[in-house]
Chain A
């Protein structure tokens, strides 16, 4: 059974810092991995999608990497800003079940 874990559950950093959010999964049979952002009381916004054949994707200050063999993905945020404060979730598309399995998220606070 695929399990997705995000550590730490919460993170607080000063503005301007570069930071890394982690996502690990137990089954390497995946078809994609997606990172989302969620603001309080809102829906999820798609940030980056990595297909299983890809190693990384970049969008602006965000870079996501995927290492299937080790069951890990990282989301790198460069030069963090207070507006980056939100909960970040990763979701893994399982090749075995065809379903997307979500981690519980990392809540990020960027202090001015």
Chain B
């Protein structure tokens, strides 16, 4: 089945640790995105990439890093510099021609 796979679904982290969230898509989409969702705040864009080996900061990139070495993969690292990392993280992808966005099932990160 075509889709977007995020892992892990749940992740617990101690303060001061970096964690990496995985996002893989087999939809042959060029563009990939990372969003953060907090209660009462809607979705906020962290990073996006429209082509391999290139990515841009979104609205809340501080404390996060990404890479895009393969078309199918767009991992997100939540670094220790992110002051409030507990949130629900959503990865998405879209085809350049339609712009329709498709989402993965999300990863919930909790900092202990």
A interacts with B? yes
Q: Which secondary structure characterizes the binding site on chain A? A: strand
Q: Report whether B103 and A49 are in contact in the complex, using a CB–CB cutoff of 8 Å.
A: no
Q: Which residues of A contact B90 (CB under 8 A)?
A: 43-44
Contact partner of B99 (CB less than 8 A), chosen from A93, A103, A104, is A93
Q: Report whether B105 and A46 are in contact in the complex, using a CB–CB cutoff of 8 Å.
A: no
Question: A32: nearest residue on chain B (CB-CB)?
Answer: B99
Instruction: Say yes or no: is A99 at the interface (Cβ < 8 Å to chain B).
Output: yes
- Can you list 18 A-B contacts with CB-CB less than 8 angstroms, sorted by A residue number? A31-B99, A32-B100, A43-B4, A43-B6, A43-B104, A44-B90, A46-B101, A46-B102, A49-B100, A51-B98, A51-B99, A89-B43, A91-B101, A99-B48, A99-B58, A102-B42, A104-B42, A105-B42
Which residue numbers of A lie inside 8 Å of B, CB to CB? Answer: 31-32, 34, 36, 41-46, 49, 51, 89, 91, 93, 99-100, 102-105
